[in-house]
Amino acid sequence: MRGLLVLVTLASFATAQHQALIDYLERRLLAIEDRISVWHEQTNRYASELRELKQQMVSQLENLDKEKETLRLNLDGVGTRVDRVERELDYLETQNGAQPCVDVDDKLIEQQVTQVNEKNKAKYEKMSDCRHMISSIKAMKILKRVGGPKGMWTKDTGSASGKVYILNGTDEDTIHEFASVQDLARSPGTSLAKQVTLPSAWRGTGHVVYNGNVYYVKQAGEVMVVKFDLNNSSATDSAVFPVQDHIPVYGLSTETPMDLAVDEEGLWAIYSTRQNDRYISMAKMDANTLDIEQMWDTTCPRENAEAAFVICGTLYVVYNTKQPGRSRVQCVFDVNEMVTSEEAPLVYFPKRYGSHSSLKYNPQERLLYAWDDGYQILYKLDMKKKLEI
């Protein structure tokens, strides 16, 4: 009987423990279900918020696309209007002779009035009967792009050979000679060119090719002009330019110590010195001997000048801004005293890429060979007669 009681007691105890375990498990399952329910609720809320955010982003992107299209149309319209204004400005400039903007120091004027500058005292003896001056830029042709931002290209201005020369860079010694402009235009880079090595490196971009010779500027302490015969591939002459304290001739082209130019009268040198550092000077050179025939101090400022060229004994200085914009002829100086300030043209060049590192005039073709940020450009000039004074 006692054994039965023990068994009943043990069974009751086991049943109580089993029920307690079941109750514990049920409580844990309920807690897990509550957590799962909260997780589902939070997940649904996050998904709903993400859908709303996505809709907002899609809406904003659509608005941005619309605004972008509107802005593009507005920019296209502005570009069209700017091009039209520039064309109208170019037309007005060709129709109305504007006054040149020449900054002349009062002291310089007083000095010119009270003293006779010995360099300008002698009357310049012209070698030709050239009486033309620029009226406007008639046309522009972009030939191609060969080389770096700075350089010079030109034809032989004293020969009918038709050869074209590329002097790439401001401190090199190898000339690329093309048989014609057409060869340059169709050449992949300089592959169709003959390579001509000079005996020394040039400095800047102020060089010319004239009557079968390259005249290039060399600077090794002193500034020298070297004459190199292209037919014989040898230097035939050189001369130290007879002025002291050279400074870069143009305020915006500091790599060029001196610029050489050729016109109907022959060879010219354009330079600046520390003694007259605000203005540009020029000299007539003998192309055979490199002697200086005559020198002039002009009233054309160095500041903001980027390049210059000479036509019929008249110096045309081209100006720009430090952030390149539209180049313009804004100062002229005529050694023959036939171009007055009142009739000097304010000529604007068509908008291009940057600024000119060189401008070389060809008197046979009446073209300017320009180098602009590696592009080789031709400018066709409209000319008119100088006025007798």
Name the residue with tokens 């801004």: 321
Distance separating the N- and C-terminal Cα atoms of the chain: 155
Question: Which of 40-49, 232-241, 323-332 is modeled with the greatest confidence?
Answer: 232-241
Q: Which DSSP category does 285 fall into?
A: E
Q: Is the pLDDT of residue 361 over 50?
A: yes
Q: Domain ranges in the chain?
A: 1-96, 101-385
* Percent of the chain residues topping a pLDDT of 90: 50
**What's the rounded Cα separation, in Å, for the pair 88 and 71?**
25
Confidence at residue 86, expressed as pLDDT on a 0 to 100 scale: 62
DSSP three-state, residue 71 = helix
> Looking at the DSSP assignment, which residues form a beta bridge with residue 34?
none
Residues near 19 by Cβ (< 8 Å), separated by ≥ 6?
A: none
Question: Which of 12-21, 318-327, 329-338 is modeled with the greatest confidence?
Answer: 329-338
pLDDT tens for 175-188 read: 999 999 999 999 99
Q: What does residue 209 show for φ and ψ, rounded to 5 degrees?
A: -120, 125
The candidate with the shortest Cα–Cα distance to 388, out of 136, 134, 133, 135, is 133
Among the listed ranges 15-19, 179-183, 235-239, 379-383, which one has the minimum average pLDDT value? 15-19
Q: Is the pLDDT of residue 117 over 50?
A: no
pLDDT tens for 140-172 read: 999 999 999 999 999 998 777 889 999 999 999
* Mean pLDDT to the nearest integer, 359-374: 94
Other beta carbons within 10 angstroms of residue 273's beta carbon come to 15
* Mean pLDDT to the nearest integer, 23-46: 85
> Looking at the DSSP assignment, which residues form a beta bridge with residue 197?
174
The candidate with the shortest Cα–Cα distance to 258, out of 209, 312, 218, is 218
Q: Is the pLDDT of residue 214 over 80?
A: yes
pLDDT tens for 265-317 read: 999 999 999 999 999 999 999 999 999 999 999 999 999 999 999 999 999 99
On the CB side of 108, CA atoms within 13 Å amount to 15
Among the listed ranges 56-65, 220-229, 235-244, 260-269, which one has the minimum average pLDDT value? 56-65
Confidence at residue 157, expressed as pLDDT on a 0 to 100 scale: 86
Q: Which helix (H) or strand (E) holds 184?
A: helix 181-186
Q: Is the pLDDT of residue 97 over 90?
A: no
Confidence at residue 158, expressed as pLDDT on a 0 to 100 scale: 77
**What's the rounded Cα separation, in Å, for the pair 311 and 157?**
12
Assign 3-class secondary structure to 152-183.
EEEECCCCCCCCEEEEECCCCCEEEEECCHHH
DSSP states of 303-350: TTEEEEEEETTEEEEEE--SS----EEEEEEETTS---TTT---EEPP
Confidence at residue 149, expressed as pLDDT on a 0 to 100 scale: 93
On the CB side of 379, CA atoms within 13 Å amount to 27
CATH tag for 101-385 (out of 1.10.10, 2.130.10, 2.30.30, 2.60.40): 2.130.10
Tokens of 284: 């007539």
The candidate with the shortest Cα–Cα distance to 204, out of 256, 153, 281, is 256
Other beta carbons within 10 angstroms of residue 78's beta carbon come to 10
**What's the rounded Cα separation, in Å, for the pair 369 and 18?**
106
Among the listed ranges 5-9, 97-101, 119-123, which one has the minimum average pLDDT value? 97-101
Is 165 within 8 Å of 176 (Cβ atoms)?
Answer: yes
DSSP states of 9-66: HHHHHHHHHHHHHHHHHHHHHHHHHHHHHHHHHHHHHHHHHHHHHHHHHHHHHHHHHH
Confidence at residue 71, expressed as pLDDT on a 0 to 100 scale: 84
Higher pLDDT, 145 or 12: 145
Q: Is the pLDDT of residue 349 over 70?
A: yes
Is 388 within 8 Å of 338 (Cβ atoms)?
Answer: yes
264 CA to centre of own chain = 29
> Looking at the DSSP assignment, which residues form a beta bridge with residue 178?
164
Confidence at residue 106, expressed as pLDDT on a 0 to 100 scale: 45
Q: Is the pLDDT of residue 87 over 60?
A: no
343 CA to centre of own chain = 29
Is 279 within 8 Å of 109 (Cβ atoms)?
Answer: no
- Residue 59: band (very low, low, confident or very high) from pLDDT cuts 50, 70, 90: confident
Q: Is the pLDDT of residue 22 over 80?
A: yes
The candidate with the shortest Cα–Cα distance to 358, out of 128, 116, 151, 130, is 151
Please, what is the average pLDDT of the chain?
A: 84
Confidence at residue 33, expressed as pLDDT on a 0 to 100 scale: 83
379 CA to centre of own chain = 16
Confidence at residue 209, expressed as pLDDT on a 0 to 100 scale: 96
